[in-house]
Amino acid sequence: MTSLTWNTPSLHAVGTNSSYPGILLGGAFERPPIHRFLEGSRHTILFPARIFENGIYEPLASESGLNAKYWDNFIRESLERASLLLATLDPLMVRDRAGVIQMAVLSSDNPMVASCILTHGFLQRFSAIFGPELLIAIPSRNKIYVFPKLANRIASAIPTIHDDHLISPMPVSSEIFELSAKGLHSVGTLDPDDGR
């Protein structure tokens, strides 16, 4: 993989604290300088960051001086890293009494776990289990829940997902997202006080 550089900032930090580019999911309360809400979302954003080997991240400070080629390479490398991470994750498959898989839980110390939903391989991997339309809860940057859209048991998982959101040092949101061949978008929230 080639290293991309320009004057300030750089994709890869110089010295012992190496970093790599990442497109992270986060809560709107974080307010990084560069961000975008996920489609239909009120609380969940995407933002570019440098991620250090120890899991600490630093949002990119400014768009000034960044050209289209840089952004294309940043996004490409971020998605490649998320795809590699997805390939290493072993989801916990939660089954009902009859042995039918009800949900998958992906977790790791890596802050890019939630970013795995942006990769092409994510839908492919979980569609084979749950069908072509998925529902996803992202309570924290390092833990996500995946459900089938039809005949799901999200209601029974709400307290656990809500607790994960509240106690996480990397909270994202209590929104629910649908992922299908049509794309990713917010379809609601687990928070009864949200007003949707």
**pLDDT digit string (tens) for the chain, length 196 residues:** 333 333 333 444 444 468 888 999 999 998 998 889 999 999 999 999 999 988 788 888 876 567 778 888 899 999 999 999 999 999 999 999 999 999 999 999 999 999 999 999 999 999 999 999 999 999 999 999 999 998 788 988 999 999 999 999 899 999 999 999 999 999 988 876 765 5
Amino acid 194: pLDDT: 65
Q: Which of 147, 150, 156, 151 is nearest to 176 (CA)?
A: 147
Domain boundaries, the chain: 19-87, 91-194
pLDDT reported for residue 191: 76
- pTM comes to 0.85
Sign, CA torsion 98/99/103/105? positive
CA 177 to chain centre: 11
pLDDT for the residue 56? 87
How far is the C-alpha of 43 from the C-alpha of 51, rounded, in Å?
A: 22
Contacts of 135 (CB under 8 A, 6+ apart): 146, 147, 148, 149, 152, 154, 176, 177, 178, 179, 187
Q: Nearest to residue 173, comparing CAs of 20, 22, 21, 24?
A: 24
Question: Residue 194 half-sphere exposure, CB side, CA atoms within 13 Å?
Answer: 14
Cis amide linkage into residue 139, ω under 30° from 0: no
CA–CA separation, 162 vs 114, rounded Å?
16
For 56-79, letters b (16+ CB in 10 Å) and e give ebebbeeeeeeeeebeeebeebbb
Q: How far apart are CA 91 and CA 106, in angstroms?
A: 5
